[in-house]
Amino acid sequence: MSNLNLNEMKKNALLQMAGKQLGKDPAELKQKLESGQVQDVVNSLSDEQKQKLQSVLQNPQQLSALLGSEQVQNLLKAMGNR
């Protein structure tokens, strides 16, 4: 994978978005991911969500597009104003 360095604000924004989509607490997702319980998070996804996640993670261009999307950028701006 490319050398993507996500700063803490971007990580939190992605966790917020993921939590909203999954109906999970972003703090719980962060704890599971940081403690290596990634499979627990993946297992909670629908088959369609798993396919989308795999597609994005395997394609640095898609991941960059996601991070550059208007929705993510607006979320980052909103978080920066806190």
DSSP state of 24: -
pLDDT tens, position by position, 8-67? 777 888 888 888 878 889 899 888 888 888 888 888 888 988 888 888 778 888 878 888
Q: Could you tell me the residue ranges of all domains in the chain?
A: 55-82
Helix boundaries (H) for 1-82:
8-22, 26-34, 38-43, 47-57, 60-67, 70-80
